[in-house]
Amino acid sequence: MISEMVLERVAHGGIVVGRLHGKVVFTTGGLPGERVLVEITERGKRFDRGRVTEVLDAAAGRVPPPCPIAGRCGGCDWQHADAATQLDLKTAVVAEQLERLAGIRWEGTVEEVPGGLLDWRTRVRYAVDDDGTVGFRARRSHEIVPLPEQGCLIAAPGPSVAELEAAAEPGVDLEVTVADRSVTLTSGRRVVGPDPVQQKVLDRTYTVAATGFWQVHPAAAETLSRAVLDGLDPQPEERALDLYCGVGLFAGALADAGCLVLGVESGRGAVDLARRNVPEAEFLARPVERSDRDMPGWADLVVLDPPRKGAGAAVVRSIAAREPRAIAYVACDPAALARDLATFAEVGYVPTSIRGFDLFPMTQHIECVAILHRAG
């Protein structure tokens, strides 16, 4: 069913909220303030989902999407918005989540990083159908949308579509990793190119598994490291915990500042690399959620970079119990950040700074760094 609707405000998840006969419709492909035609794609008890099929009155920030599959592929959310509008949309999402979930009135703005809107994503997972066609899954679907001739426009320069299809195995996802000086293609157990790869950040080089976790924007690791260091102001000989430390990115930055660092990470492979990357630090291969008894009873500084779901109340309370001088919370989801900040407030820690960074242009995703100190 196609219906006319006026879109109201942006919401978390790359959607814009509209109403049809009083019922909320979470809509993709639109911008706040637009009058559009919408096709209802899913019906629910409390809200429906829909997609814009035609724009009747366009917002000032609307632009033609540069990618021909932008409306079908599930990877990008905001290709129809110009750069300034994307920053405004993301700023509004962070502000709404912080106020609604944590009672924090945030007046910051999501910050642009160098590099522009295209050619930035250094780690890409492609779906491959049973015929060997390479593409991406459609939004909220298992359908595979084939890549256009020019490939994925937000992917960092690397293999052509023909080269991807030559490396792909039918029915097996294909991962491409573009590192500082190399390109690696991984399909199942078959690897073409170096593994692990090297990533240089500030004055340290990190060894990372080709398919392991690493920030996907080429400016991200340095941007976040500088934000953490600027916020914490680490001093020589201070004791620091790096929780969810991965291969040791923040542990390395803290060690280079003269701190005594303990990193905690559940992935044993990542911890093995962290020990190699930051040999002057100590590392514990355990889930953070089960590490309370294994960590020292106090710390001067804490950095935590949890998965998208956030750290959770138990971890937050464990951190606060160690009475750190300052905490840096690196978050890839503003809702999870807000929930954890609300818990931190309950145990006496409040944010003195919250910065947002647009490290995922064209998509809904946002990276934030919150610096917390003891209230009062």
Looking at residue 1, its pLDDT comes to 79
Give dist(CA 251, CA 110) in Å, integer. Answer: 25
Pairing of strands 15-20, 2-11: antiparallel
| CA dihedral for 245, 221, 210, 151, sign (positive or negative) | positive
Sheet with 367-374: list strands edge to edge. 110-111, 349-357, 367-374, 326-331, 301-304, 239-243, 260-265, 282-285
Looking at residue 180, its pLDDT comes to 84
φ, ψ of residue 162 to 5 degrees: the values are -60, -40
Peptide bond between residue 361 and the one before it cis (omega within 30 degrees of 0)? no
Residue 375 CB contacts under 8 Å (≥ 6 apart), including other chains: 345, 348, 349, 350
Looking at residue 94, its pLDDT comes to 98
Looking at residue 140, its pLDDT comes to 87
23: enclosing H helix or E strand? strand 23-28
Looking at residue 92, its pLDDT comes to 98
162: enclosing H helix or E strand? helix 161-167
> What's CA 85's distance to the chain center, in Å?
19
Pairing of strands 47-57, 23-28: parallel
Per the CB < 8 A criterion, the answer to whether 124 and 175 are in contact is yes
Per the CB < 8 A criterion, the answer to whether 27 and 13 are in contact is no
Note the pTM of the prediction, 2 decimals: 0.96
| Diameter over CA atoms, the chain | 65
Domain boundaries, the chain: 2-62, 92-115+199-207+215-374, 123-195
Which CATH architecture group holds 92-115+199-207+215-374?
Answer: 3-Layer(aba) Sandwich (3.40)
> What's CA 336's distance to the chain center, in Å?
12
Beta bridge partners of 368: 331, 356
Beta bridge partners of 242: 263, 303
Token code pair at residue 53: 């099929």
**CB contact burial 232-259 (16+ within 10 A = b; e otherwise):** bebeeebbbbbbbbbbbbbbbbbbbbeb
What one-character DSSP code corresponds to residue 92?
Answer: H
Rounded average pLDDT per 10-residue block, the chain, 376 residues: 94 96 95 97 94 97 96 92 98 98 98 96 96 92 94 96 94 95 93 96 96 96 98 98 98 98 98 98 97 95 98 98 98 98 98 98 98 94
Token code pair at residue 71: 């409306």
Start-to-end C-alpha separation, the chain: 56
Which CATH architecture group holds 2-62?
Answer: Beta Barrel (2.40)
User: Is 332 one of the catalytic residues?
Assistant: yes
Give dist(CA 260, CA 319) in Å, integer. Answer: 17
The burial class, CB within 10 Å (0-12 / 13-18 / 19+), for 189 is exposed
- In 171-238, the DSSP E strands lie at 174-178, 183-187, 190-192, 197-201, 204-208
Query: Of the residues 73, 245, 332, 368, which is catalytic?
Result: 332
